[in-house]
Amino acid sequence: MQEPAVVLLSGGLDSATTAAMAREEGFAVHALSVDYGQRHRFELEAAARVAEAVGAVEHRWVAVDLSAVGGSALTAPLEVPKDRSTDEMDRAIPITYVPARNTVLLAVALGYAEVLGAGDLFIGVNAVDYSGYPDCRPEFIAAFAQLANLATKAGIEGRRFTIHTPLIELTKAEIIRRGTALGVDYGLTHTCYDPNDQGIACGRCDACGLRLRGFADAGLVDPLPYQE
Amino acid sequence: MQEPAVVLLSGGLDSATTAAMAREEGFAVHALSVDYGQRHRFELEAAARVAEAVGAVEHRWVAVDLSAVGGSALTAPLEVPKDRSTDEMDRAIPITYVPARNTVLLAVALGYAEVLGAGDLFIGVNAVDYSGYPDCRPEFIAAFAQLANLATKAGIEGRRFTIHTPLIELTKAEIIRRGTALGVDYGLTHTCYDPNDQGIACGRCDACGLRLRGFADAGLVDPLPYQE
């Protein structure tokens, strides 16, 4: 029997690749999508498509209304920055940073893992093309693993939790190449912070910029349509 | 100007006392209630009453639907245990344990603190009368504080987060005496895991049992009505 693993699935390129890698490692994928009050739902629809494509055993949704605490362009009505160079992105943590987002995501994933009897969690964080988010760094992940062992009934009973971050040291181009080799259909994913009403990506926000440069660097064509 | 602090407020006896202690220490209380899919809403109504009574600057609600992951009598349709002795409670972690609950609560509180520019979080966990919950222990709290400094933009910029747990070493009787001295009206609080349709406490679940023994040990009378 396959070991169960909880895989956090946003519906983006990184989490789609992470799910494919978890399956490749032999885990039964239990996909978990957290709706933290995003302003658009297209990435949640993408998560459902990706979960099905990767052969997830199940796909759960947890609503966490982070819009009630605000503080981010992704959960509050602030302007999403556009047309920034990689240098500009590197200069400061952008307003698309969601306070404590990955702490919340991993906390919910930990609860789900405990219910399943799983000790393995997958999250597609990346410390290379990471937009400066503090909760994408290896030291954050290590601290969360320590916390998980102390936080849970399973931990007290001796289970050691492992937080798998297979993308953490990869460039966007390497992620795309790896996923393509595993058969990931990136046409099912959604990346854009600011799509139009039909869910078509803007091609100009930081997330679109990183994605498009990743495909270009990988020498591959992004199957997604863009507004321009 | 008073420093802001985020105080997790369930509406129970412990969090009401914690909020009064935060105010006593001179903090501006920003109360945060998390609705994690409890089966009854009476403790959420209690949280609103308690926030007002303690003079909270604001009171935010965040919905986190932990019922989607299940695994607890508090978020799934399992039977709440009744009429257990203290010895029986000590024997095992009960099914009212909510997987990773305090990790989720503190993660949301951390996001709110970051938005506020606060470095102080209060949570009314207790390691004495704690029903065996792993995430009420000092080592869990210490691990979360470490995580908070790594997880946030504020932490990267040098802020050190403090997780205040003023009740952690107190017995229930000591908590009740301390709160009574600070003017806490325990008639506003809600403790029962299994109230009737009018929100009247059962007097027989583990939570009611600990509360009633606490008042008895403190030599005080619980102002709440009970079903019997």
Q: Is A25 within the bounds of a domain?
A: yes
**In the block, residue with structure tokens 């199940």:** A58
* A 118-137 residues with CB < 8 A to B: 134-135, 137
Across the interface, whether the CB atoms of A134 and B153 are under 8 A apart is answered yes
Angle formed at CA B226 by CA B223 and CA B227, multiple of 5 degrees: 165
**What DSSP line would sit under B188-219, residue for residue?**
G----SS--TT--B-S-BHHHHHHHHHHHHHT
Q: Is B200 within the bounds of a domain?
A: no
- pLDDT of residue A213 exceeding 70, the answer is yes
Q: Is B219 within the bounds of a domain?
A: no
CA atoms within 13 A of residue A228's CA, in its CB half-sphere: 6
Q: Is A224 within the bounds of a domain?
A: no
Angle formed at CA B226 by CA B222 and CA B227, multiple of 5 degrees: 170
Question: Residue A228: how many CB atoms within 10 A of its CB?
Answer: 7
Range of the domain at B47: 4-190
> Which chain B residue lies closest to A156 (C-alpha atoms)?
B134
Task: Please write the tens of the pLDDT for every residue from A106-139.
Answer: 999 999 998 889 999 999 998 875 556 788 899 9
Neighbouring residues of B164: CB distance < 8 A, sequence distance ≥ 6? B5, B18, B22, B120, B121, B122, B123
Contact B60, A106 (CB under 8 A): no
Instruction: State whether residue A96 is helix, strand or coil.
Output: coil
Task: Please write the tens of the pLDDT for every residue from B134-159.
Answer: 888 999 999 999 999 999 888 888 88
Task: Give me the CATH number covering residue A59.
Answer: 3.40.50.620
> Which chain B residue lies closest to A33 (C-alpha atoms)?
B68
Across the interface, whether the CB atoms of B150 and A156 are under 8 A apart is answered no
Chain B hits for A140, CB-CB cut-off 8 Å, are 147, 150-151
Q: Is A223 within the bounds of a domain?
A: no
Provide the number of structural domains found in chain A: 1
Q: Is A109 within the bounds of a domain?
A: yes
Beta bridge partners of A59: A31
**In the block, residue with structure tokens 């303690």:** B54
Across the interface, whether the CB atoms of B69 and A110 are under 8 A apart is answered no
User: Packing angle between helix B13-24 and helix B42-53, nearest 10 degrees?
Assistant: 20
Nearest to B135 among A99, A101, A151 (CB): A151
pLDDT at A141: 96
CA-based Rg of chain B, rounded to a whole angstrom? Answer: 17
Q: Is B186 within the bounds of a domain?
A: yes
State the smallest CA–CA distance between residue B141 and chain A in angstroms: 9
Q: Is the ipTM of this complex over 0.90?
A: no
Q: Is A226 within the bounds of a domain?
A: no
Return the closest-CA partner of residue B136 out of B178, B93, B76, B83: B93
- pLDDT of residue B15 exceeding 60, the answer is yes
